[in-house]
Structure 1
């Protein structure tokens, strides 16, 4: 295919992050929520530079001349990324200034030294002498060999000292501010919530670190190290040890980005660039505080609830109201939940009940990303200690959660759990739990499939699908799945499930081809899908062919989309919408019209080469009519969002969607309202009704 048919993956991701920034600039959002969106954009950029830019820089150093599907070399991508992100950084700090102004009006102020009165300066002076100076340690730097090994993405100060008499070479010192030091320092004020940043306080009293010297300049800076490193599984005899070595390597990875205050002197900048071996392209000057991701902490200030979104408590699905046990409820019929509008609690309860139920014989589960104090992990350990057969696949290669997963793997093993460290050469990204229970009629399997992680914390922040079933065929497939990934058996063809990397892409291509053929035969045909990212060239080509055949293709793609919609003769029948809203869109749903016999799936997989070729993923059909209807309703709601939805243009830009005839549809609000209404209907149906006892019924008046 022509490179003109593809949008570059990295530039598409940057445009996604820009849509998050749009929410930070949107004054219709509450002020502290705007600050949260701004912090998210900074956190997103941190990971982007560590992984994507780090990987491209390695390609560039290796003198690779290969191009991506959009026809760009590594060097061309790095140049385009630098140009676009420099503009984004400028927009971030303009946004921060706007948010600061709104915060001041609401009584929250970030102070700088000149804003403080004598009493406040005295307080900070005492704090510096008693605490800060005792914690921090400057390090003189004479040459590169003296430069300290700075932790990735932590704040530092670079201090330039005036040369001694008779010398003309400036002296430099670096002060790492560390992760444990309090960044936001509250200052007593009569009229507002006032705080000042640690780097501002240290700069105020910087001379006290260097008695007898003259400080010429002091500027904050922050480095981002390359973290695009992986275990060579063909050479690592012990995967756990190999992952620990990768974590150590990240501490010393090369600098891929230097962030620095825009007040930096030419001498200081030259010194840092030479020492860190970065080019001007890698330097990002900031007109405000560095590490904007740290401002997450300021979005939870007490007493300012009016500056946040209204509270939305996840609803307990009425599907579980008739039963004291989740197992009993699922035994009656399939259940589909939409998080976070519906509570994740039933998923946790399912595992906890299984751990304590004497009739449960075995639990098998995948764990990709968990919370720090995971109740699910605790239940799995309790089940093993009670003598149940517990098998857990802990994915050690879940990027940036490796350390936590290593910890949990060891804890689980000590409790007697059979722990598998993923599949060699692949990441296991599928979300599945199987509970085997002895019942009067025989063995029954209870299965949970999901699009999100088994993490009760992120389940309140991401939109995801949970599906509970006792379907015998899916149960057989689920058992075969675990046999394939925990043993040496060759993966077998499933009856209903599809699994990457051995059949998921082929199934999607087969279903797309089916819609194309039906359209050629004169029947209605359409493909509707919701995924986080679309970058797989083979699937994109198939969708282009569907469009050329006249098949209606509607896609809800949150982030990366390398497909160009609306190109005459190529993709005029394809529409792509992205939603960025209060909750991170994370569910993946696929619908094929199939001649009116709707085929509906949800999946753990995005439509990217890494998901389809290098990960273990699942595509799960939903056949029970009430669950399928619900899933289709969720998908259609996302496709028709004209409040937070943005439509992708053929040039890679996004435009706001104007409601037609004033019909406004806000998907996340709609889905939460629907969850609340379902609970209300359940409560109304259970209200006590007073029935009069008439004489005609045989009683006295």
Structure 2
């Protein structure tokens, strides 16, 4: 046996070192750090105003979901055992306090940007929020007409008294709390017994006692638009619905004196999971979950910062909240109205120039998708390249008489999904259509239940996922009869079958008819639909069976190669890195000397660049125009370059509690294109954030020899445009002759 070199021995000893206890970053604080990076886009003066408003709306929407799910989950854990520690060593109680403080700091920064920067600059650009206390009589008259014609007839106040409990309010909806001057009860005539019993003063108080408080709540609902347009001399003016109703609130309470009117919003706990062991019918069980969320515990109260102590105390008492749950807001509730502003017509100069998705040059619109895929695998990088070929493949399968079956997993879809419509048409035409609809896709449960029922009525075989797991894989299999036999055409992706989000999410699609992948995909799909143990897969890896093991084995293989003196490299693009077992494997690989580059959009619980632990690990996060959503994984593998796409992030839920796929990219041209895409992100010096060992992030900028900015998303889009330009240029320089029709034989 050859003697190991001293260098190898040194590396071997280094990976035997104990890993420090503080090597993980808290997941919740890591997520909030991601939302801070998104918020930085709203503060970026180089971006157009309405784009900054959109990013501010995104941070609000992100924070709403975080509170509903993550803080909701922490509160449930707190009730069970507040002293349980997470991987970062924080107890549940410590996490609740830290997260609450961080959320409130984030909210303060959100509203400082809105109040001090965006609203004044938007007003200068003639997009103005009108306040009725400070506007012309003409605008006030228009506002009053709108209130009387469109608002007052729709809304209804609900008075709260001792015998009328606090109403059930919709979570995340904007409401008004109205404090009214108390009305004394009617005074009855006093008799001698009353005076003898109570005394003169107490007897009068006993019969003329006023209620200690009198409040009413006006739910604003969603029927009336949040933004009420008003005429301006120039530009666009609008009043927020809550401001309009507050100004004319006296009309709801004739004869009463309104002391105060305060906008507020509640958030309910949405971290409610189905107990599948007790659910006889999954659809009924999910509908119960939706109802439970509607009735669940209030975990956050947002209210206008100028609200009196009396109103805050009243609302807090009614909902049994603590100071940690209270969020004073110095501005409008619910920043989602900024999405509406972003879509205003006539303000293109305040938005980014559109990047229209490009055609893939390898796909000829005149050729059927089946013949195109048969020529070679196709890799689509969305949204730079159109999602249309995926939809087109399924729609062509519906009309093709040689297509025998379509099998597909649907996790999230659009409201008017052309894919779902095509699947129903296929079933109605007699094709065998099997669809796994994941009813447990959080916040899309209601839509998926509706789609599932419609597809069942059309004759589609609908399977509601697997008990105890969420089916999150992105795969479609089309079985076609051809002269040489049965051929399976497949789509594997990193994103959902949603043509709307495919325009704003950065994802990857592979279209292939590879025989081995086809056999694996069929085995995988049938195992899910048949609720059976899947047979050995040759190329695919599936969670929760083999995906975790495959990832760990690949990391360990790079570690061994590096210890043996070979070049070793791992590059991964993911949405989240949370799993402690995977992180520890990466730490050991780094201690061995493996170069590791990670592009983690959101939560990363690994600490990069720590001496003796992760010196060779680099972590970046790209926050730009499109939401980074693709999962791409590369291992040097001794120069053979293992390259994969996946539906799974490196989180315990993805590796252990979901049905996921890891798909190898086989075709050489596809591999080159995908690897080039992956490496492009690490050259970004414009919208790239580099993670520090502390868990903080530093925004990248051109340094050293770099003179120009490098924006990875811009580069990827320009490549897609250039590919189309080259295709058009080649067509102009290529002579194509018209061929005569074939003889008819007569």
TM-score range, shorter chain: over 0.9
The 8 Å contact of residues 338 and 463 in structure 1, kept in 2 or not, is answered as yes
Residue 672 of structure 1 corresponds to: 717
- Verify: 1:196 aligned to 2:215, yes or no: no
Q: Distance in 1 between matches of 2:503 and 2:154?
A: 37
Residue 225 of structure 1 corresponds to: 268
Residue by residue, what CA displacement relative to the aligned partner does 1:410-465 show, whole Å, maximum 9, x if unpaired? 01100101100001110000000000000111110001000000000000010000
User: 121, 125, 128: which one pairs with 1:109?
Assistant: 128
User: 550, 553, 557: which one pairs with 2:596?
Assistant: 553
1:502-521 to structure 2, matched below 5 A, reads 502-521=545-564
1:509-658 to structure 2, matched below 5 A, reads 509-658=552-701
1:23-422 to structure 2, matched below 5 A, reads 23-97=41-115, 98-143=117-162, 146-165=165-184, 167=210, 169-321=212-364, 323-422=366-465
Unaligned runs of 5+ in 1: 692-701
Q: Distance in 1 between matches of 2:306 and 2:365?
A: 64
Q: Distance in 1 between matches of 2:353 and 2:28?
A: 34
Q: Distance in 2 between matches of 1:172 and 1:65?
A: 39
Q: Distance in 2 between matches of 1:158 and 1:443?
A: 66
3-state SS of 1:314 partner: coil
Deviation, structure 1 residue 323: 4.5
3-state SS of 1:328 partner: helix
Deviation, structure 1 residue 493: 1.7
Residue by residue, what CA displacement relative to the aligned partner does 1:257-302 show, whole Å, maximum 9, x if unpaired? 1011001100000000010111111111111000002321111111
3-state SS of 2:571 partner: strand
CA separation of 1:109 and 1:144: change in aligned 2, threshold 3 A? farther
Deviation, structure 1 residue 169: 1.9
The 8 Å contact of residues 144 and 275 in structure 1, kept in 2 or not, is answered as no
Residue by residue, what CA displacement relative to the aligned partner does 1:113-140 show, whole Å, maximum 9, x if unpaired? 1232111111111222222111111111
Residue 200 of structure 2 corresponds to: none
The 8 Å contact of residues 338 and 465 in structure 1, kept in 2 or not, is answered as yes
Q: Distance in 2 between matches of 1:391 and 1:430?
A: 15
The 8 Å contact of residues 480 and 486 in structure 2, kept in 1 or not, is answered as yes
3-state SS of 1:670 partner: helix
Residue 696 of structure 1 corresponds to: none
- Verify: 1:442 aligned to 2:460, yes or no: no
Q: Distance in 1 between matches of 2:401 and 2:134?
A: 66
Residue by residue, what CA displacement relative to the aligned partner does 1:664-697 show, whole Å, maximum 9, x if unpaired? 3211000000000001100000015699xxxxxx
3-state SS of 2:260 partner: strand
Superposed CA RMSD: 1.3
Residue 21 of structure 1 corresponds to: 39
3-state SS of 2:619 partner: strand
The 8 Å contact of residues 446 and 468 in structure 1, kept in 2 or not, is answered as yes
Residue by residue, what CA displacement relative to the aligned partner does 1:170-193 show, whole Å, maximum 9, x if unpaired? 311000000121110000111221
CA separation of 1:140 and 1:322: change in aligned 2, threshold 3 A? closer
User: 480, 484, 500: which one pairs with 2:527?
Assistant: 484
3-state SS of 2:95 partner: helix
Q: Distance in 2 between matches of 1:47 and 1:441?
A: 51
Residue 699 of structure 1 corresponds to: none
Query: Which portions of structure 1, spanning 4 or more consecutive aligned residues, are displaced by more than 3 angstroms?
Result: 165-168, 688-691
3-state SS of 2:725 partner: helix
The 8 Å contact of residues 578 and 646 in structure 1, kept in 2 or not, is answered as yes
CA separation of 1:124 and 1:355: change in aligned 2, threshold 3 A? same
Deviation, structure 1 residue 657: 1.6
User: Max radius of gyration: which structure?
Assistant: 2
Unaligned runs of 5+ in 2: 1-18, 185-208, 737-746
The 8 Å contact of residues 323 and 329 in structure 1, kept in 2 or not, is answered as no
3-state SS of 2:177 partner: strand
- Verify: 1:686 aligned to 2:705, yes or no: no
Q: Distance in 2 between matches of 1:536 and 1:606?
A: 9
Deviation, structure 1 residue 159: 0.5
The 8 Å contact of residues 322 and 329 in structure 1, kept in 2 or not, is answered as no
Q: Distance in 1 between matches of 2:385 and 2:31?
A: 29
- Verify: 1:4 aligned to 2:47, yes or no: no
User: 467, 488, 496: which one pairs with 1:424?
Assistant: 467
Deviating more after overlay: 183-192 vs 495-504? 183-192
Deviation, structure 1 residue 64: 4.2
The 8 Å contact of residues 227 and 337 in structure 2, kept in 1 or not, is answered as no
Deviation, structure 1 residue 144: 8.5
The 8 Å contact of residues 82 and 93 in structure 2, kept in 1 or not, is answered as no
Q: Distance in 1 between matches of 2:452 and 2:130?
A: 45
The 8 Å contact of residues 466 and 531 in structure 2, kept in 1 or not, is answered as no
CA separation of 1:642 and 1:76: change in aligned 2, threshold 3 A? same
The 8 Å contact of residues 525 and 551 in structure 1, kept in 2 or not, is answered as yes
Deviation, structure 1 residue 2: 4.5
CA separation of 1:151 and 1:190: change in aligned 2, threshold 3 A? same
With the length of structure 1 as denominator, give the TM-score of the two structures.
Answer: 0.97
Deviation, structure 1 residue 62: 1.8
Deviation, structure 1 residue 322: 6.8
Q: Distance in 2 between matches of 1:677 and 1:321?
A: 17
3-state SS of 2:278 partner: coil
Q: Distance in 2 between matches of 1:539 and 1:426?
A: 21
Deviating more after overlay: 118-127 vs 305-314? 118-127
Q: Number of residue pairs matched? A: 691
The 8 Å contact of residues 602 and 622 in structure 1, kept in 2 or not, is answered as yes
The 8 Å contact of residues 368 and 395 in structure 1, kept in 2 or not, is answered as yes
The 8 Å contact of residues 150 and 224 in structure 2, kept in 1 or not, is answered as no
CA separation of 1:441 and 1:648: change in aligned 2, threshold 3 A? same
With the length of structure 2 as denominator, give the TM-score of the two structures.
Answer: 0.91
Deviation, structure 1 residue 168: 6.8
